A and B are shown apart, each in its own frame.
Chain A
Amino acid sequence: MTLRVNDLKVYYQTLRGDVHALDGVSFDLADGEIMGLAGESGCGKSTLGKSLIRLDGRMRHVDGTIELDGKDVPIADDRAMTPFRFHEISLIPQYAMSALNPTRKIGRMINELLRSRGVRPNTIAEELNRRLELVGLDPDVLNRFPIELSGGMKQRVVMVMATLLNPSLLIADEATSALDVSTQRSVVESMVEFRDRGYVKSMIFVTHDISLVYQMADTVMVMYAGRIAEKAPASTIINDPQHPYTKMLIGALPEVGTTTEDTRLEGIPGTPPGLLKPPTGCRFKDRCPIASEECSETPPLVEIDPGHWAACWKTGR
C-alpha cells in the first residue's frame, strides 16, 4: 500500500467562515496504481491533490491522517513536509505552462532545483536526458528558455522534472486539460509509461474528464461535494457504476457516435450544495432521483464488491 488517507478534512478559510472543501475523505492507493480522481468543479478533487503536497495559505488541515509507504505525512506542518516534497511526493500542476522560471534556461533551473534539494545534478544528468528522449524531447531543450517551447513541450518538461527523483506518489492536477487532443494523448501515454518503468510508484490523476481517465487509470474515484461518492476499477466505474451520482454523470456524457437523434442524454438537475454550511446526511440527496428518508443520515463509504467502494444507502451492502 503506497498511500493511505484516513478521514482527511481540509477547510478553506474565508471571511464568511470555513468552506468544507474536504470533509472526511478516506481511501487507499496501491503500489503501481494510477487513480483517476474525477468530479465537478468544487467537489474537492483539486483540494485533495494539493493537500497531499502543499496546503496553500488559506487551507487548513482540520483532521485526518495520511500515510505514505508506512510513514506519517505531516501535511499540516509545512516545514516537516519539505523532505517529502519532490523526493517522495511530486506534482504536475494545473498551470504547468507557466511553472518554469521564464528567465532561466530549463537545464539550469532543473540543476538549481536539484542542488537545493541535496541532489548532485551530474549524478542524474544522464537519466534526465534519457527521460527527455523517452517523452519525445531533444535533450537540447535544456539549453532553451521556457518561452521557446510549445505548450505540449513545457508540459513534458515539467513531467520529466517532477518525476526525476522517482517519487512514490505523483499528483497530476488537470495536467492535460489545456492541451489539444493529440498532444493530450501522447502526454497521457507517457505518464502511463513512467509508471510502467517505475519512475513513479503510484499516481493520482485529477481531472474533470472521465473519458480521459478511462483511457489511462486503473481505478477511478468520483468525488461529490467534498466527499467520496464511489471508487472502483476504471472499467467498473464506466460500465457498472453503482452510486446514483456516478450513474447520472456517466449518463450525461455524449460520445463520439451518439447524436440527439439516437438518444437524448439528460443532465443532472440542480446544483451541488454550498460547502460553507454543508447539508447533513447524503450530500447528493437533493438531486438524487432515488433519495429517501434514510439519506438524511450520512452514508458510509463501504466496499460493495472487492475493490469497489460506494457511499450510498441504496447500493447493496
Chain B
Amino acid sequence: MWRYMGRKIGIYGITFVVAVTINWMIPRFMPGDPVSSMLSRASISDPEALERMTAYYNDVFGLDTPLHQQYFSFWAGLFRGDLGISVWLYPEPVTDIILRAVPFTVGLLLPAIILSWIIGNRFGAFAARSKILDNTLLPIGYILTATPYMWIALLLAWALAVNGGFFPTAGGYSFALTPSFSWVFISNLLSHWFLPFLSMFVVALGGWAIGMRNMIIYELEADYSNYLQALGAPRRLIRRYAFRNAMLPQITGLAVQLGTLIAGALLTEIVFNYPGLGTLMLNSLNNRDFFLLQGIFLFVVIGVLIANFIIDIIYVLVDPRTRVQMTGGSS
C-alpha cells in the first residue's frame, strides 16, 4: 500500500518538476525578448517607473546569467513563494492576486464537479435500465458533453439573465456591496454564482452519465451478475452491485477529467466575467502579464496534483481489491 502511494507521489513529483520546467522554459525559448514584449503592452506613462520595472524584470529573468543558474534561481524563488510581481497590477505580487481569485474558482469547481459526478452517475445508471431510456437519455448526454463550456454559458446567460432577468450576467458580486457575512451579500454572491455553476454542472453531467452507463453495462454482463441472476436474485440487488462496482472506475475517471473540467471552469468564468482564475488569466493574456499567467499555471497544476492525490486516497479506501493487493493477499 505504501509502495503504491509512493509510486503515485513519485509521478506527481515528476509532473510538478516537468510543469515548473515548462513554465521556466517557455518564455526563454520562445522567439523574442520576453521583457520588452511584456512591457510593450503595459500602459505606463511614467518613464522612471518603466525603467524600474525593466530593471526588475531583467533581474528576475536573469537573462545574462548561465542557463542552469537561471533555472535554479527560478526554483529558489518558487520555494520562497515568490512568483514575481505583476505587470498589469504593478507592483502587486502575483501570489496575492492569485490567492484573491482562487476561492471563486474553487467555489465554482468543487460543487459543480461533485454534484455533476453524483447526479451524472445516477443518471447513467438509470439510462442503462432499458433500451428506450438508453436511446433517449443517452443522446442527450452526448450532446451535452459535446457542448463547449463557454457556449452553454452564453446560452444560459442569454436565456436566464439577459432575456429572463433572473440572474446577473457578470461579476462575482455587485460592486455596490462590500463583502460581509450578511444575508444580502451572500444571496447576491449566490445569484452571481448560480449561472456559471449551472453551465459547468450541465456539461460535466453528460460525461459522467455516459461513463456510468458504459461501465454499468459491462458490470451487468460480468460473471457475478450472471450468477446472481441464475440464483434468482432480484434485479435490484444485481443493479446495486453493478452500480457500486461501476463507481470505482468513475472515481479514476474523475482524476483523468480534472484537467478538462478546470479548463471548462476557466472558459465559463470568462463568459460571466466571474472574478476567478479564468478571468484573471484572460486579463493577464490581454496585458501580456506573463508572470501572472505563469503563476496561475503553477497554481492550477498544484491544485490538480492535490486533487489527484485525494482521489487516489479515496480510491484506495473505497476499493477493497487495491488494499488487498497492496498488503500482499494471496490470489
Q: Cβ of B236: which chain A residues have Cβ within 8 Å of it?
A: 116
Q: Cβ of A53: which chain B residues have Cβ within 8 Å of it?
A: 230
Query: Which residue from chain B places its CB closest to the CB of A117 in the assembled complex?
Result: B232
Query: Which residue from chain A places its CB closest to the CB of B234 in the assembled complex?
Result: A116
Q: Cβ of A240: which chain B residues have Cβ within 8 Å of it?
A: none
| Chain B stretch 47-106: residues in CB contact (< 8 A) with chain A | none
Q: Cβ of A112: which chain B residues have Cβ within 8 Å of it?
A: 237
Contact with A along B306-319 (1 / 0, CB 8 A): 00000000000001
A113 to B236, CA, bound (A): 11
Contact with B along A57-101 (1 / 0, CB 8 A): 000000000000000000000000111111100110101001111
Q: Cβ of B166: which chain A residues have Cβ within 8 Å of it?
A: none
State which of B227, B237, B321, B329 has its C-beta within 8 Å of the C-beta of A102: B321
Decide if A102 touches B234 in the complex (CB within 8 Å): no
A84 to B319, CA, bound (A): 34
Residues of chain A whose beta carbon lies under 8 Å from any beta carbon of chain B? 53-54, 56, 81-87, 90-91, 93, 95, 98-105, 112-113, 116-117, 145, 147-150, 158, 162
Contact residue range for chain B? Answer: 20 to 34
Q: Cβ of B222: which chain A residues have Cβ within 8 Å of it?
A: 98
A187 to B132, CA, bound (A): 45
Decide if B329 touches A148 in the complex (CB within 8 Å): yes
> Given A113-B237, A147-B331 in contact, is the A103-B321 Cβ separation under 8 Å?
yes
Count of inter-chain pairs, beta carbons less than 8 A: 82
Decide if B231 touches A162 in the complex (CB within 8 Å): yes
State which of B224, B245, B324 has its C-beta within 8 Å of the C-beta of A145: B324
Decide if A103 touches B248 in the complex (CB within 8 Å): yes
B46 at the interface (CB under 8 A from A): no
Q: Cβ of B234: which chain A residues have Cβ within 8 Å of it?
A: 116
A99 to B226, CA, bound (A): 8
Q: Cβ of B331: which chain A residues have Cβ within 8 Å of it?
A: 147-148, 150
Q: Cβ of A102: which chain B residues have Cβ within 8 Å of it?
A: 224, 245, 321
Query: Which residue from chain A places its CB closest to the CB of B247 in the assembled complex?
Result: A103
B244 at the interface (CB under 8 A from A): yes
A286 to B226, CA, bound (A): 38
List 12 A–B pairs whose Cβ atoms lie within 8 Å, in order of A's numbering: A53-B230, A98-B222, A100-B227, A101-B224, A102-B245, A103-B319, A103-B320, A113-B233, A116-B233, A116-B234, A117-B232, A147-B325
A56 to B248, CA, bound (A): 27
Query: Which residue from chain A places its CB closest to the CB of B322 in the assembled complex?
Result: A147
Q: Cβ of B230: which chain A residues have Cβ within 8 Å of it?
A: 53-54, 85, 91, 93
